[in-house]
Amino acid sequence: MALQPFLALGAILFGIGLYGALTKRNLIIVLISVEMMLNAANINLVAFSHFAVTPNVDGQVYALFNIAIAAAEVAVGLAILLSFFRIRNSSDVRDVNLMKW
Amino acid sequence: MANALQFLTFSDVWRSMGPEIIVIGGAFLIMLVELFLPASLKRVSPWLAVLALVASATVLVIRLGAAVTTYSTPAYIVDDFGSIFKLIILIATLLVILLAIADRSAESLPYEYSYLVLFATGGAMVISSGVDLVTLYVGLELLSIASYILVALYRKSARSAEGGLKYLIIGSIASACILYGLSFLYGVGGSTNLGQIGVNLQSGWTNYSGILYLSLGFVLVGIGVKVSVVPFHLWTPDVYEGAPTPVTAYLAVVSKAAVLAFFLRVFVWIYGQKFGQWGDIIAWLSVITMIVGNIGALPQRNVKRILAYSSVGQVGYLLLPFAAVGSSTLLNDMWQALSSIAFYLFAYMFMTIGAFAVLAKVAEARASEDIDAFAGLYRRSPFLAGMMALFLLSLAGLPLTAGFFGKFMIFLVAFNAGQYWLGVILFATSAIAFYYYFGILRAMFTREPAGDQERVRSSPTLVVVVALCALGTLALGIAPSPLMDVLNGLHWFG
C-alpha cells in the first residue's frame, strides 16, 4: 500500500462533508457532514503517521484527541439544535432566518 | 540509568501552566459549587469566577519577563508573546463577567455562564502558549465549543438559539478546515511540534511546496472564519446580534485575540520563512476587511450590528502590521509589529467592552437594540451618553483616545516598512467609520427621547465596568508610554 490512496480517501471525504455542510437542508445532516470533514483529517493524520519519512505515533495520538473533541462538538451541536427545535418547531436550514444582513 | 525515569511533579506543571490551572480548576470548582448552591445564593458564582481570574492574572503578571519556560518536550511554552496575550484575555474576561453580573434584566443570563466563560478563557490561554499542533487545536476547540454554548444560553429566545446554531455550524466547518490543513503540516513536518516542524521544513519547502501551500490555504480559511476576515465574515453580525450582549463582547474581544495569537504563532513559526510568497494575500485580506467591514456598517439600524461590522473592520487593522512587516528581514520590525498589535488589542478591548456595556444597559431599558433606543440618551443618563461618545470616538480614532494612538502605531509600522498604501487605506476607512458612529452620537445628543423620559438607572457594577473601560481608553490615549515601554521591553518569542 502507498500513501496516496489514503490521502485521496481523506480528500474525497472532506469534499463530500464540505458539500453536505454547505448545501443540505436538514440540520442533522449538516452536523453529520461536519463530522465527515473532521474524520477526513483523522484519516490523513493516521496515514501520515504510518507512511511519513520518519514514522511516528504522534499522528495517531492526535487523531484520538480529535475523536474526543468531535464527540464533544456534536453533543453541543445536538443540544443547541434541540433548543432551536423547541422554539421554532423545525430542523430545516431555511428556517434559520430571523436575522439577515 | 539513573535518569531513565523522570517523574513529573506538580511544581513542574505549576511553573509553566499556573495561570491556566487556576482558571480551569476554578471553572470545575464553580461548576460543582453552583450545582449544590440554593437558588438564592447562586449569584455568588460569577464572583467566584472573578476571584479565579484575578488570582490567575496575578500569577501571570508576577512571572512576566521571567525566562522562557517550556513544558513536556515542548508542547507548551511560556514566553512573553503568550503572556501578553493571556493578560489581554484575562482582563477582557474579567470585564465581561463584571458586565454580565451588572446585567440584571428580566431575561438575564443563567448562572452557568460563570464557568462556561472560564472554560473558554482556559482554552484561549492554552492557544496563546501552545507550541504543539495537538495543544493548539485542543485549546481552540475548548474556546469554540464553550462559545457555542454561551451564544445559545438564552434558552427561551429564538434569536439566541439561531445565533448559536449559525455559530456552531460555521465554526465547526472552520475548525475542520484548520484541522485538515494541520494534518498536512504534520505529514510534511513529521512531527506535531511547531519548532520541530519549522526545522524540518527548512529543507522540505522545495520538495513539498504544493502540499504546504494547500495546508496554508486551509488554515488561513479556518482562521479567517474564526476572526471574521472579510470573505468569511457573513456570520458575524447575525451571531453577535443573537448572542446575549456580554457574550457578544466576549466573542468580539477574547475569541478574536486568542485566534489572532494562534494565527501569529503558526504563521510566524511555520510558514514565516516563505513569507514573501504569500504575504500579499494577508495584505489584501486586511484591506478588504477594513473596507467591507466599515462600509457594511453604514446601512445598519441595529447598534449591535453596527458594532459587529465595526469589529470586522477592526480585524483588518489588527492584521495590517503583520502584513506590512512580514517580508522584512529585520527582526526588530517584527517585534515592532507585534507590539503595535498588542497595543491595539488593549485599546480595542477597553473601547469595545465599554461600548457593549452601555449598549446592554440602554437596550435593557428600552427592550430594543435599535438606534432609536439611544435617542435623547443625554437627557436620560448624561453619564452613559458621555461614556458611549468616548468609546465610539475612540473606535473611530479621534486623537487623545486609545483608538487613535493604536491606529497611529499601526500606521507607523506600515510607514516604516514602506507600505504607504496600507497606511492610506487605514485612515480612509477610519473616515468612513466616523460617519456611522456619528449616527449614534447624533441620536444620543440632538434627538428627543422616543417614548418615556425616565432616567436610566445604572447599577454600581455597571458604573464600575464602564468607568474602568473609559479609564483604559483615556489612559492609553493620553499617556500611552507606560504600556509602550512594557511592550517594547518584551522578548516576544524568547
Domains annotated for chain A, with CATH where assigned, are 4-92 (1.10.287.3510)
Q: Going residue by residue through chain B, which has 494 residues, state the pLDDT in tens, using 9 for 90 and above.
A: 344 456 667 777 777 788 899 999 999 999 999 888 888 888 888 888 899 999 988 888 887 767 666 666 677 888 888 888 999 999 999 999 999 888 766 567 788 888 999 999 999 999 998 888 999 999 999 999 999 999 998 888 888 888 999 999 999 999 999 999 999 988 888 888 888 888 888 877 777 888 888 888 999 999 999 999 988 888 999 999 888 889 999 999 999 999 999 998 888 888 777 777 777 888 889 999 999 988 888 888 888 899 999 999 999 999 888 887 766 666 777 888 888 899 999 999 999 999 999 998 888 887 788 888 888 888 888 888 899 999 999 988 888 888 888 888 888 888 888 788 888 888 888 888 888 888 888 888 887 777 677 777 778 888 899 999 999 999 988 888 888 888 877 777 76
Partner residue facing B187 (CB), from A38, A48, A76: A48
Q: Cell triple for residue B219?
A: 488554515
Task: List the single best residue of B153, B179, B241 to mutate versus A (max A Cβ within 10 A).
Answer: B179
Inter-chain CB proximity A66 and B179 less than 8 Å? yes
Substitution target from B142, B168, B191 for chain A, most A beta carbons within 10 A:
B168
Q: What is the pLDDT of residue B486?
A: 82
CB contact under 8 A, B165 and A40: no
- pLDDT-derived band at A15, boundaries 50, 70, 90: very high
| Chain B residue numbers touching A78 (CB-CB < 8 A) | none
3 state SS for chain B? CCCCCCCCCHHHHHHHHHHHHHHHHHHHHHHHHHHHCCHHHHHHHHHHHHHHHHHHHHHHHHHCCCCCEEECCCCEEECHHHHHHHHHHHHHHHHHHHHHHHCCCCCCCCCCHHHHHHHHHHHHHHHHHECEHHHHHHHHHHHHHHHHHHHCCCCCCHHHHHHHHHHHHHHHHHHHHHHHHHHHHHHHHCCCEHHHHHHHHHHHHHHHHHHHHHHHHHHHHHHHHHHCCHHHCCHHHHHHHHCCHHHHHHHHHHHHHHHHHHHHHHHHHHHHHHHHHHHHHHHHHHHHHHHHHHHHCCCCCEHHHHHHHHHHHHHHHHHHHHHHHCCCCCHHHHHHHHHHHHHHHHHHHHHHHHHHHHHHHHHHHHCCCEHHHHCCHHHHCHHHHHHHHHHHHHHHCCCCCHHHHHHHHHHHHHHHCCCHHHHHHHHHHHHHHHHHHHHHHHHHHCCCCCCCCCCCCCCHHHHHHHHHHHHHHHHHHHCCHHHHHHHHCCCCCC
Task: Please name the residue that has the C-alpha cell 458612529.
Answer: B437
Which of A25, A66, A89 is the best mutation test for B, with the most CBs of B within 10 A? A66
Question: Is the C-alpha dihedral spanning B98, B99, B105, B111 positive or negative?
Answer: negative
Is B159 at the interface with chain A, CB within 8 A?
A: yes
**Residues of chain A with C-beta less than 8 angstroms from the C-beta of B137:** 62, 65-66, 69
Complex ipTM: 0.95
Contact B145 A88 (CB under 8 A): no
Looking at residue B1, its pLDDT comes to 37
Nearest to A45 among B163, B175, B186 (CB): B186
